[in-house]
Structure 1
Amino acid sequence: MSELVQERVVTAISHDQVAAPGSGTWVLDAGHCPRPVCRFAAPLFRTGFQRGFGETFARYGVLLDHMDVAIVRGFIYNQLRALGAPPEAVNHPPKEVFDQILAGSPPHQERLATADLVWATRRWREDLDRWDTLEKPARNARRDALDAVDLASLSDEELLEHLAVCRDEVIEGWYVHHRYNGAALLPVGDYVVHALRWTGRSPSELLMALAGTSPVSSGGGPELAVLAAAVRDDPAAQILATAERDPAEIVAALAGWPGAVGEAFAAYERVVRFLAIEGEDSIGMPCTIEEPELMVSRLRAALDAPAVDPAQTAAAAACAAIRAAVPPEHRAEFDDLLAEARLVYRMRDERAVHGDRAIGTVTRRALLEVGRRLVQRQLLDAPDHAVDLDLDEVASLLRDGSGPDTAEVARRVFWRLSADYREMPPIFGEVPGPPLPAEWLPPAAARIHIAFGFAIDAVLSDIGPAAAAEDGVVTGMPVGGGVREGTAKVLRGADDLDRIEPGDILVTTSTGPAFNLVLPMLAGLVTDRGGLLSHAAIVAREFALPAVVGCAIATISIPDGARVRIDGDAGTVTLL
């Protein structure tokens, strides 16, 4: 990152300087994207989000119509639309009005009937089976087919056609991701809501019982475990993997290694090559295949991993403690709810990895080829600047050289890499009031309303209700148990990960897949943004790491290099 970007002075943008994206209430989603998304990706979010959320709400009997998405200066804003409500509606109507709507609205009556069927048939199981047997394989096959195209051999027009196909697949990927929201989130929310009622334990402790059931969240999965085992069994391969050599040379050597190591590396590489190293914008940000040192670092961490998975140990302890606190008459129901939550938990991250991020990375590769051609023609300053062109601009620049000049594109790149979410209004419109009271609904619909409400809140509400910094203590949401001390390393993003040393406590805005590579080294994790089901929270549980998320101002309140104590049970970070 350039010194200009590092030294950029952040100033807030007022509501007077930027227009609201529409009527009603719009909330900044800084937990997923704390920096702007690239110009190519920006117009692709809305269609997939609307269609996917709309279908999952209808399929699971939720009294919401869809989620709308708007991009303001590259930042994502969300708006949840209640079923049948106009865009300007913010809060639910009075009870007598709502009762009339329920009684007289066929769409509402259909959702209530659907809610009964969801619980009776455990609809998420059907969706999980469809995901595993149809959707995920189909998405991966489409990804691999596009990735196999020899981009350098294409003419400009053929490259444009390929890029248009990639664009359409990105939109489809966002749709697929959110079509499975119900299956991924409802059983998890239902388990937590019931266990909270029975035990009074914290949501963080309850979610700890799910650790170890989402291998994809830790950035490796079974493919990495197989590779690590193969390398351990081959002394020469192990020496190579741990050698002080150029990571690109190590990757190339392992890829060509004969026997089990080469086969295992090929399977691992197919999984991780498509992961964006930071955030949700897999088109705008580099992917693992562009950063071979990340692949080598993750393998080395797996080689050093303890024989007994700490996440599995922590999960077993959490399950036992929680179950003991459940009244005996509810334990059979608790066991059933926990089993369903553990069954679907992996879908939380699998939908992103296989649904949209991988195809975004394939799209990025095509744009980098565009960028190389435009650099040769002196129409761009660097190949990766092409991600800040929209498809029409790409076409005009390739065809006749017309379009934004190099200075304009460079300004876009500078804004994307340097802008901070704190510069943007956190909300446009009226602050919403309390949610619809569940007691206004029939039992099945009320159960869905409460469970889905918890899950959506755990994903989208990314600042803790008690987030603050006072008397040397920063507070947020506790998501990983235990107390540890260490040196705080305040990082802006994944490009600073080389500063991490064993025993450090990582302090950052939010985490992406690349952060998984250093988590085994850490004493703790602290983020400004993130909820109970954010990436940071999930991976902290997968690595049994003390963590506090949604602190709001941790990165500007905790000095880099300070000695701190993190309490993952209390949700505090104390300067020592």
Structure 2
Amino acid sequence: MSDMKNAPLIPTPPGFPVEWDEPGDARLFWVHDLTHYSDQLTPYDFFTVKDIFETVADKVNQAYHVPLKTFCRHFNTYFYSASVPQLGPIEEMIAQNKLCWEKLNAAMGNLWNRWENDWLPEVRQHLAYWEACDLKGASATKLSEYLNETDQRVRRTWEIHLLLSYPMVIAISLFEEMYRDLFGNAKPFEAYQLLVGFENKTVESAKALWKLSRQALASPKVCKVLTDYAPSEVIPKLSDFEEGRAFVKEIDSYLQMYGKRSNNEVLKNSFWAEAPSPVIKNLQNYITQPERDLTDELKKQAENRELRVAEVREQMQGYPKPVSSQFDFLLKAAQEGNRLREEHTHWIDFSVSYHQRQVVLVLTCGIRLAEAGVIDSKDDVFYLKPDEVRESMAALPKITDRRSVVKDRREKENRFSAQPAPPVLGTPPAGPPPDDPILRAFFKVLGVPPTPSNIPGELKGSPGSAGTVRGKAKVVRSLADAGKLNSGDILVAEYTVASWTPLFASIAAVVTDSGGVLSHSSVVAREYGIPAVVGTGMATVVIKDGQTIEVNGDTGIVRVIE
């Protein structure tokens, strides 16, 4: 830490002045999280995330004896975090490390059982609470109670999220590292072939949407509407005739099951159930594609996985018992972890966030505060801090005028909207991060800075999924842009989350600015058997729509061909 105190600050761009409000902040190393929160965050979203990263994560770190503390700041409307090791006398650190691995090993050995029997039932209880809330008919006093109760329930579900995430990610990372140690001549991604082919909510949602597209193809009239009209016009046009109305019911059923998803994990953005254009766009894409059996493809992937597992176990016949036992332990934990990545995203990241958004904006607080004149429109609620929303709701019918505060914060957001956020701020660390298995695991999710290429038209990133392919690039910054994708195109994005998964059924490859080998883009690309290069840093800036590019998922290199 003393080296950091003497190190010069990282220069900031002229249009991105940073005010260090907290003592000591300038001497921390602040990272802009491109994988989860690359865009600007409203005050409500920021303080919600800050509570998770600081308060909830600190509780989970204590549960697993991880000596780490995270701080979050809202620099010029962008999200930054700094993680600080909590160091002590060497004897205490050794004892804490032993406790940490005892806790993590116990958790890794019980992942699926704990999820199925403890955590998922509890999450479902929280979701049932929100489903039962009479939000529209509630008084202002009752809404305040709902809001306070929601805050507590959200905090608890994200505690479950982190209690699961630590052993889940670490198990996958440790398994891959052990596999490479055992089989030094293994090909890239060979270890991950033993983890794919399991059912999960994300794959299930993509299969259900594909099935819906085949139903559309069976009706010429439905198919014509999907072909001829913009996504926003499709449902009104379908509602004009009987077959169309029947298909709208099928879409509604799909949204009821899988519609609690959004472009990313922030409350400001609409979810599919509220604005189903992303679903309609995927249907429009799917009906142009040739027949395929996604269920059979997944089955074959599972069969290949089991064949490969049997081959590996045969190769390990002569290994000492402790080695083969550890391999089996990590294989089971990694397979469960790989499956749970998508399961917990469906139930917590999206379903819980969807209900939180309903309480804060869509059905309650935003509307009531706008009607009372506290804010001008319901969307303004996101430009208040959570405490300000609670105070304003509790004060009703007395009006606490927040309009000028909202105006100032919106103006600040507009002022910095065209200014790219620097990837890092503050003081650089004195050296590389310690070679710690926990840190290595999370770097595999978030990625590391790419190595610049000296070759014109070439980008270097991290290998994400095997294979090489050429195709037309389409830069997609949000699901609103997904309509430009055609079958066989290469998706170029800042990052992807679970709600983007249906796109993977039609693309030839994926390239992202952020993420590592355990990011969503990499994991789903391996499930679909398409190449992926992740963590390029600037693919969405360098690559233009329509360019022919070559993606080499084995080397992590992307080349612009023309």
TM-score using structure 2 length: 0.79
Matched, 1:43 2:47: yes
Matched, 1:199 2:183: yes
- Please report how far the alpha carbon of residue 192 of structure 1 lies from its aligned counterpart in structure 2 after TM superposition: 0.8
**Contact between 2:32 and 2:38, CA under 8 Å: does it hold in 1?**
no
Using the alignment, how far apart are the partners of 2:107 and 2:515 within structure 1?
28
The residue aligned with 2:411 is 411
Using the alignment, how far apart are the partners of 1:379 and 1:61 within structure 2?
44
- Please report how far the alpha carbon of residue 229 of structure 1 lies from its aligned counterpart in structure 2 after TM superposition: 5.8
1:264-292 alpha-carbon deviations (Å, 9 max, x no partner): 964x43442221x22222x1221111222
The residue aligned with 1:440 is none
Q: How does 1:153-192 map to 2 (within 5 A)?
A: 153-192=137-176
Distance change in 2, residues 1:12/1:436 (3 Å): closer
Q: How does 1:427-438 map to 2 (within 5 A)?
A: 427-436=425-434
Distance change in 2, residues 1:425/1:160 (3 Å): same
1:71-109 alpha-carbon deviations (Å, 9 max, x no partner): 333333333333445xxxxxxxxxxxxxxx343x2x742
Q: How many residues align?
A: 523
Using the alignment, how far apart are the partners of 2:455 and 2:413 within structure 1?
36
RMSD of aligned C-alpha atoms?
3.9
Q: How does 1:29-178 map to 2 (within 5 A)?
A: 29-60=33-64, 62=66, 64-84=67-87, 101-103=89-91, 105=92, 108-113=94-99, 115-116=101-102, 119=105, 122-178=106-162
In structure 2, give the amino acid aligned to 1:289: A
**Per the alignment, in what secondary structure is the counterpart of residue 341 of structure 1?**
helix
Q: Tell me the percent identity.
A: 22
Distance change in 2, residues 1:510/1:474 (3 Å): same
Distance change in 2, residues 1:361/1:113 (3 Å): closer
- Please report how far the alpha carbon of residue 435 of structure 1 lies from its aligned counterpart in structure 2 after TM superposition: 4.1
The residue aligned with 2:381 is 386
Using the alignment, how far apart are the partners of 2:90 and 2:474 within structure 1?
53
**Contact between 1:28 and 1:425, CA under 8 Å: does it hold in 2?**
yes
Distance change in 2, residues 1:65/1:320 (3 Å): same
Matched, 1:402 2:401: yes
- Please report how far the alpha carbon of residue 564 of structure 1 lies from its aligned counterpart in structure 2 after TM superposition: 1.2
- Please report how far the alpha carbon of residue 47 of structure 1 lies from its aligned counterpart in structure 2 after TM superposition: 3.6
- Please report how far the alpha carbon of residue 473 of structure 1 lies from its aligned counterpart in structure 2 after TM superposition: 1.2
Q: Give 1:526's match in structure 2, choosing from 511, 516, 524.
A: 511
- Please report how far the alpha carbon of residue 129 of structure 1 lies from its aligned counterpart in structure 2 after TM superposition: 1.9
Distance change in 2, residues 1:419/1:305 (3 Å): farther
Using the alignment, how far apart are the partners of 1:151 and 1:463 within structure 2?
45
The residue aligned with 1:445 is none
Matched, 1:306 2:302: no
Using the alignment, how far apart are the partners of 2:536 and 2:431 within structure 1?
23
Distance change in 2, residues 1:295/1:537 (3 Å): same
Q: Give 1:289's match in structure 2, choosing from 268, 273, 280.
A: 273
Unaligned runs of 5+ in 2: 1-11
My pick for the range that moved more, 553-562 or 397-406, is 397-406
- Please report how far the alpha carbon of residue 469 of structure 1 lies from its aligned counterpart in structure 2 after TM superposition: 6.7
- Please report how far the alpha carbon of residue 477 of structure 1 lies from its aligned counterpart in structure 2 after TM superposition: 0.9
My pick for the range that moved more, 514-523 or 246-255, is 246-255
Using the alignment, how far apart are the partners of 2:235 and 2:191 within structure 1?
42
**Per the alignment, in what secondary structure is the counterpart of residue 469 of structure 2?**
strand
Q: Give 1:348's match in structure 2, choosing from 337, 341, 356.
A: 341
The residue aligned with 1:280 is 265
**Contact between 2:278 and 2:480, CA under 8 Å: does it hold in 1?**
no
In structure 2, give the amino acid aligned to 1:407: K
In structure 1, give the amino acid aligned to 2:144: L
**Contact between 1:14 and 1:424, CA under 8 Å: does it hold in 2?**
no
Distance change in 2, residues 1:206/1:548 (3 Å): same
1:33-76 alpha-carbon deviations (Å, 9 max, x no partner): 111222112122334334544455455564x2343433333333
**Per the alignment, in what secondary structure is the counterpart of residue 139 of structure 1?**
helix
The residue aligned with 1:562 is 547
